[in-house]
């Protein structure tokens, strides 16, 4: 017993339903979307057998849908990239499952290794490239489902820091 605490449970805790959070079937918060991606990443049997690599065009597969969200599996052979784009009105979570990817945005370039997660809000502009020598696999959760991925003509290059009020990037 914890004699240092004044807090004690009297009676059966299961009889206090207002203290219990029912388990949600589907994620609704950023943390829950990131958690869903981590859970899928940890269960290789869910995604590894499905992965294909296509050197001629980007390969992607819709792994799961839920109310208001979609989960996509993407592969990247060396040299493949997304081009500079945003995600329309969708926000999302990118999780690296295998290999290594480079993400470029106006804030600079970062290397994503296995387990890395990037959370971005609607309107975030970036470019993802496999500039390694090995294939890579990534998992993308979009909320709402991705219906529009406008391409941008300007390259994503790091610029001098801007004042936050003028910075359109949100992630
Ligand atoms: Fe993206």
Say how many Å lie between the CA of residue 60 and the centre of ligand 1. Answer: 13
Q: Is 26 annotated as a binding residue?
A: no
C-alpha–C-alpha distance, residues 63 and 18, integer Å: 35
Q: Is 87 one of the annotated binding-site residues?
A: yes
What does the pLDDT read at residue 157? Answer: 61
What's the gap in Å between 160 CA and the centre of ligand 1?
Answer: 22
pLDDT score recorded for residue 38: 96
For ligand 1, the distance from its centroid to the CA atom of residue 25, given in whole angstroms, is 26
- The verdict on whether residue 140 carries a ligand-binding annotation is no
Q: With the C-alpha atoms ordered 31, 38, 144, 84, is the resulting torsion angle positive or negative?
A: positive
- Please tell me the distance between residue 159's alpha carbon and the centre of ligand 1 in angstroms: 20
User: Alpha-carbon Rg of the chain, whole angstroms?
Assistant: 20
> Does residue 96 carry a pLDDT above 60?
yes
Q: What pLDDT was estimated at residue 6?
A: 81
pLDDT at residue 11 in the model: 76
Model confidence, pTM: 0.80
Q: Residue 124: which residues within 8 A CB-CB, separation 6 or more?
A: 86, 87, 91, 105, 169, 170, 171
Query: Measured between alpha carbons, how far is 42 from 50 in angstroms, rounded to an integer?
Result: 15
Mean pLDDT (the chain) is: 87
> Of 5-9, 17-21, 70-74, which gets the smallest average pLDDT?
17-21
**pLDDT beyond 70 at 89:** yes
- Kindly state the greatest CA–CA separation across the chain: 67
From ligand 1's centre to the CA of 92, what distance in Å? 8
Distance CA 129, CA 163 (A): 28
Cα of 13 to ligand 1 centre, how many Å?
A: 45
Q: Among residues 95, 99, 154, which one has the least CA distance to residue 126?
A: 154
Position 24 scores a pLDDT of 82
What domains are there in the chain, each with its CATH number?
21-157 (2.60.120.10)
Distance between Cα 85 and ligand 1 center (Å): 6
Which pLDDT score is estimated for 171? 33
Going by the DSSP 8-state scheme, the letter that residue 127 receives in this structure is E
List residues bridging with 61 in a β-sheet.
Answer: 73
86 alpha carbon – ligand 1 mean position (Å)? 6
Q: Residue 77 above 80 pLDDT?
A: yes
From CA 137, how far away is CA 8, in angstroms rounded? 48
pLDDT of residue 167: 34
Q: Is the pLDDT of residue 164 over 50?
A: no
Q: What pLDDT digit, counting tens, does each position of 15-32 carry?
A: 766 666 777 889 999 999
Buried b (16+ CB within 10 A) or exposed e, 68-93: ebbbbbbbbbeebebebbbbeebbbb
The pLDDT of residue 159 is above 60: no
* Cβ neighbours, 10 Å, residue 6: 6
Q: What is the pLDDT of residues 105-146, one digit of tens each?
A: 999 999 999 999 999 999 999 999 999 999 999 999 999 999
Q: Are residues 85 and 125 in contact, defined by beta-carbon separation less than 8 angstroms? A: yes
Name every residue whose Cβ is closer than 8 Å to that of residue 49 and which is 6 or more positions away in sequence: none
Q: What is the pLDDT of residue 132?
A: 98
């Amino acid at each position: 017993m914890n004699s240092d605490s004044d807090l004690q449970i009297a009676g059966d805790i299961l009889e206090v339903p207002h203290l219990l959070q029912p388990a949600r079937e589907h994620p609704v918060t950023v943390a829950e979307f990131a958690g869903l991606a981590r859970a899928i990443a940890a269960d290789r049997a869910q995604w590894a057998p499905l992965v294909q690599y296509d050197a001629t065009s980007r390969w992607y597969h819709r792994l799961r849908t839920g109310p208001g969200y979609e989960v996509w599996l993407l592969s990247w052979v060396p040299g493949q990239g997304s081009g500079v784009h945003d995600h329309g009105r969708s926000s999302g979570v990118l999780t690296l499952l295998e290999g290594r990817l480079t993400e470029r945005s106006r804030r600079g370039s970062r290397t994503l290794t296995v387990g890395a997660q990037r959370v971005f809000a609607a309107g975030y502009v970036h470019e993802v490239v496999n500039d390694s020598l090995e294939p890579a696999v990534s998992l993308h959760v979009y909320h709402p489902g991705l219906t529009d991925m406008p391409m941008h003509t300007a390259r994503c290059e790091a610029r001098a820091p801007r004042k936050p009020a003028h910075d359109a990037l949100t992630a």
